[in-house]
Structures are given as structure tokens and as C-alpha cells.
């Protein structure tokens, strides 16, 4: 070390602060826990929200079981009534797909200088444990199975990209699921995941706001409505609209009185009310 | 003021480290939670903006969690962590320069990302850190990084030269200049409160 260069008695750098983290700004316990949780999710690949994972896995199971049952019924009926109904069955109405909404371009340009508390995008769990149709049924259930497989593949890709912190590509992958499989549980979750990435990492609170609102309108009492409402508040904050942020946070507390975010929301509301 | 490599609070491979390296999430959580203040502290030494600290700290934690298996206990865990953190920060800054040059610098400068209450802090100590940071933030990156690696982490000049892919003599010179500027600015209240230093 070139200690010879040092001027005797001259000011020098302070040591690292391994207890409080100075000179970094103070961070409370909840925020610390969140940072560590997200880091561990990325590092160890553990889903951030088991309850959500169960929901998605259950939905996938339902899709696969339904597809299998349909295939079995087709074979059974085809054998019993070979000349009577095959055409009808082949053209049986499939599950209607909604018209895909036009994708909203996420812009890199920042919308505001307002600070945003980073919140991890919801993890979308690919239904890996869900049963798949047997080979005998695969052909007849091909359409449903391939649809599920597509969702699974894209969600896996999106999660991988997110873990690699490739935010834009992850956002596109989530948005792809939301667009192509509109109406599904996966699309709902993917919409919120994409919106979270937009506001947290892509500097697009306006696009995120639209997406959160769309998800909330589709499922006002959905499994992720709490996240959507908090996301809306974050977007208003990023856009510098304090009154809209306050209303969104107040609504969050009214609709989700037992939210785990209560302490943070109340602290932020106090700040907002204090600056009125 | 002290010149230190920071406190080192653990032996190289504790049961907690071993469990965390083996994938025990609870152990990893406890370990990373304990390391987080140190990581944030170092990140803030290296980057001139508060708003980037937590993203980079989080990225550093990911790298630490993934890399624990490779920690052999040849030095202290803290020293190993410090190296990883510095590497993550440098990589992130390079990537940011490359990818996000068009972003409005004003977006984040001075932004208070997380303004939440925290544990009580010694006001005098805080003031000392704030004064130091004000001066440090005005040093150009090319001088700031070698100075921090050398005077805070205790890395040798050849190690820094290797880390920053810069010739040894250049590093030596930058540390000397940075240290002199830092000392002068710290002793001059006017300079300390806002004079800009030109790139040297």
C-alpha cells in the first residue's frame, strides 16, 4: 500500500459500516428483508409466492385433466359411434380466446424524477408438476396440451430472464403470455409481473399503470389484486401524482385491511399527508 | 479519522456459511441479512448515487449467494464478499454506461429511493459519513474506485490494477491524486460543500 503518499494527519476515508450500512441511506428491516428475499429467489430459484404458485399449478392441472378427459371422451365416443358424430366432435367448440390486446410499447425514457420503492415483480410459476396427457391421448388433446406447454415454456423463459435481470426481455415474455392466453390465470399473473417490471426497472410507470388497471378491472378481487393496487400507487408516485398515490394507498388499506404492506403503506401515507 | 479495512466479524467458514453454501435458505437468509449493511456501505462508497445502491446491493447478494460454494475460507468471508461486491458494481457500471447512456441523469440524482425509518444512528458519525460522501461523490470515478479499493478495502495496487484492468503506475498515480484532493476538500468547508473537481 502506498502509505508513504499519505499526508500525516490528513483526513482519510472512513471504514465500511458493516452494522448500519453507512454511508448508504438508512434501510428499515422490512426493506432489508425484501432485498434479501428477492436476491435469494434469484440465486436459489425459489418461488417468491407459494400461494400463487399453487394457484397456477392447480390451474394447469385443471387444464391438463380437462384436456385428457376430452381426449378420452373423444376416443370412447368415436368407438361407440364411429359414423355418427366424428365431424361434430372434431369441430366441437373450443375454448374461446379473447382478441389479444394491442401490446403497449414500454419505453426506456423515464417519466418522472419521483422516487420509487423497488418491488419485485410477482414470480410466475410454471406448472412443472402438472400431469400431462398420456401418449395415447396426446394426439387428440394436442391442441390443449400444446397451449399449456406454450404457456409453460414462455413463463419459464420469462422467469429465467427476470432472474437474469434482463428486465425488458422478461417483460416482453410476460406480456406475450398475457396477450396470447388472455383470460387465463397465467395471463392475469403475467400481466401484473410485466407491469411491475415496467414501473420498477423499465422507467415506464404510465404503461405499468394501464396494465395494473387492466388486471384489476379483469379481476377486482383476484389473487393479486393487492399487488395490483400497490402497483398502481407506485405508478402514481413515479408519475409525481401525490394525490392519486394517496387515494390508491387508502383504497389498498380499505380493500385489504390485513395487507402485509400495511406498515409501509401507512408510513408513506403519513409522508404524503405531512407534505400536503 | 480511521483508515481501516472494515470490521471482520466472522471466521472464514462458519456452520452458517456452510449451510448457506449447501442451499439452506434460512441460513442463507440470515447470512445475507447480516452482510447487507456491509454490502450497501461498500456499494455507496463506489457509486455516486443513492438510488442505485439497493439494486446493486441486491445484485451483489445474488452473486454472493451463488458463489458461496466457491468460498474456500482462505481469507475472511468479509474480504471475499468485498471483492465480489466491487466486481459486481464495476460490471454493473460498465453495463449501465453501455446500455443506458440515454437515460436522463436527473432522474435519479439525489433521489431518495427508500426514505423509511431505520435504527437510530449516531448523529456525529452520520455527519462524518455525509461529509466524506459529499467529497467522495465529486471525485471522478477513475480516482474514486482505486482510492476506495485501496484505502477502504486494503487491496494492493497490483490487485487493483488487475481488478480495474489498468496499469499499475496509473493506479498508483490516481490514488495519490485522489487522496490529495480528498484531503484538501475535507479540510476546506467551501470546497467540501460543493466545489467541482475536474477529471485528473
Residues 6+ apart with CB under 8 A from B92: B55, B56, B59
Contact A27 B40 (CB under 8 A): yes
- Partners of B23 on chain A (C-beta within 8 Å) are 44
Q: How far is Cα of residue A25 from the mean position of the Cα atoms in its chain?
A: 28
Taking the C-alpha atoms of residue B140 and residue B126, their distance in angstroms, rounded to an integer, is 23
A 143-202 near B (Cβ less than 8 A): 165
Taking the CB of residue B51, how many other CB atoms lie within 10 A of it? Answer: 19
Taking the C-alpha atoms of residue B29 and residue A29, their distance in angstroms, rounded to an integer, is 13
pLDDT tens, position by position, A161-190: 877 778 888 888 888 888 888 888 778 888
Taking the C-alpha atoms of residue B156 and residue A50, their distance in angstroms, rounded to an integer, is 46
Closest CA to B66 of B88, B93, B45, B94: B88
Taking the C-alpha atoms of residue A28 and residue B61, their distance in angstroms, rounded to an integer, is 17
Contact B176 A2 (CB under 8 A): yes
pLDDT bracket for residue A83 (50, 70, 90): very low
Instruction: Indicate the average pLDDT of chain B.
Output: 77
B 25-44 near A (Cβ less than 8 A): 25, 28-29, 32-33, 35-38, 40-44
Does the structure show a pLDDT above 60 at B102?
Answer: no
Say if A4 is an interface residue toward chain B (CB within 8 Å). no
Query: Are the C-beta atoms of A39 and A32 separated by less than 8 Å?
Result: no
- Residue B142 is predicted with a pLDDT of 93
Taking the C-alpha atoms of residue B180 and residue A8, their distance in angstroms, rounded to an integer, is 11
Closest CA–CA distance from residue A272 to any residue of chain B (Å): 12
Residue A110 is placed in which grid cell?
423515464
- Residue A106 is predicted with a pLDDT of 39
Does the structure show a pLDDT above 60 at B128?
Answer: yes
Q: Which H/E stretch holds residue A196?
A: helix A185-201
Contact A113 B150 (CB under 8 A): no
Residues 6+ apart with CB under 8 A from B95: none
Question: CA dist B193 to A15, A26, A219, B141, B181, Å?
Answer: 21, 22, 53, 19, 14
pLDDT tens, position by position, B157-195: 888 888 888 888 899 999 999 999 998 888 776 655 554
Contact B148 A13 (CB under 8 A): yes
More confident residue, A151 or A145: A151
Contact A16 B152 (CB under 8 A): yes
Query: Are the C-beta atoms of B28 and A46 separated by less than 8 Å?
Result: no
Say if A35 is an interface residue toward chain B (CB within 8 Å). yes
Closest CA–CA distance from residue B152 to any residue of chain A (Å): 6
Taking the C-alpha atoms of residue A232 and residue A211, their distance in angstroms, rounded to an integer, is 9
Residue B119 is placed in which grid cell?
435504527
* Percentage of chain B exceeding pLDDT 70: 74
- Partners of B191 on chain A (C-beta within 8 Å) are none
Query: Which of B9, B100, B118 lies closest to A26 in CB terms?
Result: B118
DSSP for A66-127, please give it.
HHHHHHHHHHHHHHH-TTTSHHHHHTPPPPPPPPPPPPPPPPSS----------PPPPPPP-
Say if B200 is an interface residue toward chain A (CB within 8 Å). no
pLDDT tens, position by position, A64-76: 444 444 444 444 3
Say if A269 is an interface residue toward chain B (CB within 8 Å). no
- What are the b/e assignments for A133-149, b being 16+ CB within 10 Å? beeebeebbeebbebbe
pLDDT tens, position by position, B47-78: 988 878 888 899 899 999 999 988 888 788 99
Q: How many CB pairs under 8 A join A and B?
A: 206
A 202-221 near B (Cβ less than 8 A): 203
**pTM higher than 0.90 for the full model?**
no
Q: Which H/E stretch holds residue B126?
A: helix B123-136
Instruction: Give the largest Cα separation in chain A, rounded.
Output: 101
3-state secondary structure of B71: coil
Does the structure show a pLDDT above 50 at B91?
Answer: yes
Amino acid at each position: 500500500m502506498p502509505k508513504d503518499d499519505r499526508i500525516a494527519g490528513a483526513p482519510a476515508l472512513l471504514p465500511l459500516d458493516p452494522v448500519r450500512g453507512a454511508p448508504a441511506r438508512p434501510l428499515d428491516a422490512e426493506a432489508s428483508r425484501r432485498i434479501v428475499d428477492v436476491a435469494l429467489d434469484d440465486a436459489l430459484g425459489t418461488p417468491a409466492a407459494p400461494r400463487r404458485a399453487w394457484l397456477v399449478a392447480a390451474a394447469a392441472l385443471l387444464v391438463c385433466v380437462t384436456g385428457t378427459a376430452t381426449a378420452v371422451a373423444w376416443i370412447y365416443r368415436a368407438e361407440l359411434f364411429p359414423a355418427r358424430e366424428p365431424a361434430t366432435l372434431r369441430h366441437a367448440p373450443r375454448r374461446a380466446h379473447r382478441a389479444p390486446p394491442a401490446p403497449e410499447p414500454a419505453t426506456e425514457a423515464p417519466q418522472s424524477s419521483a422516487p420509487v420503492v423497488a418491488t419485485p415483480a410477482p414470480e410466475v410459476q410454471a406448472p412443472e408438476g402438472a400431469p400431462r396427457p398420456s401418449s395415447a391421448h396426446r394426439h387428440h388433446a394436442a391442441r390443449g396440451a400444446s397451449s399449456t406447454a406454450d404457456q409453460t415454456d414462455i413463463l419459464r423463459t420469462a422467469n429465467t430472464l427476470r432472474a437474469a435481470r434482463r428486465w425488458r426481455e422478461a417483460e416482453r415474455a410476460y406480456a406475450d403470455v398475457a396477450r396470447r392466453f388472455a383470460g387465463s390465470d397465467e395471463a392475469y399473473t403475467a400481466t401484473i409481473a410485466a407491469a411491475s417490471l415496467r414501473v420498477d426497472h423499465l422507467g415506464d410507470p404510465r404503461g405499468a399503470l394501464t396494465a395494473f388497471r387492466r388486471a384489476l378491472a379483469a379481476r377486482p378481487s383476484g389473487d393479486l389484486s393487492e399487488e395490483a393496487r400497490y402497483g398502481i400507487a407506485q405508478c402514481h408516485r413515479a408519475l409525481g401524482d401525490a394525490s392519486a398515490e394517496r387515494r390508491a394507498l387508502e383504497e389498498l388499506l380499505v380493500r385489504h385491511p390485513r395487507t402485509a404492506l400495511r406498515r409501509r403503506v401507512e408510513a408513506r401515507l403519513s409522508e404524503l399527508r405531512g407534505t400536503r | 479519522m480511521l483508515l481501516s479495512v472494515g470490521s471482520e466479524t466472522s471466521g472464514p467458514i462458519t456452520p452458517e456459511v456452510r449451510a448457506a453454501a449447501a442451499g439452506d435458505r434460512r441460513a442463507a437468509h440470515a447470512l445475507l441479512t447480516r452482510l447487507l449493511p456491509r454490502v450497501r456501505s461498500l456499494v455507496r462508497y463506489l457509486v455516486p448515487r443513492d438510488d442505485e445502491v439497493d439494486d446493486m446491493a441486491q445484485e451483489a447478494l445474488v452473486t454472493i449467494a451463488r458463489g458461496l460454494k466457491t468460498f474456500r475460507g482462505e481469507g475472511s468471508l468479509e474480504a471475499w464478499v468485498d471483492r465480489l461486491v466491487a466486481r459486481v458494481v464495476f460490471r454493473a457500471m460498465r453495463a449501465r454506461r453501455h446500455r443506458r447512456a440515454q437515460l436522463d441523469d436527473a432522474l435519479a440524482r439525489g433521489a431518495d429511493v427508500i426514505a423509511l425509518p431505520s435504527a437510530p444512528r449516531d448523529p456525529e458519525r452520520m455527519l462524518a459519513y455525509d461529509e466524506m460522501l459529499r467529497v467522495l461523490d465529486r471525485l471522478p470515478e477513475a480516482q474514486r474506485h482505486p482510492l476506495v479499493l485501496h484505502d477502504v478495502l486494503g487491496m494492493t495496487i497490483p490487485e487493483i490494477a488487475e481488478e480495474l484492468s489498468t496499469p499499475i503506475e496509473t493506479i498508483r498515480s490516481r490514488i495519490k491524486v485522489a487522496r490529495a484532493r480528498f484531503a484538501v476538500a475535507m479540510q476546506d468547508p467551501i470546497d467540501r460543500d460543493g466545489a467541482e473537481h475536474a477529471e485528473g
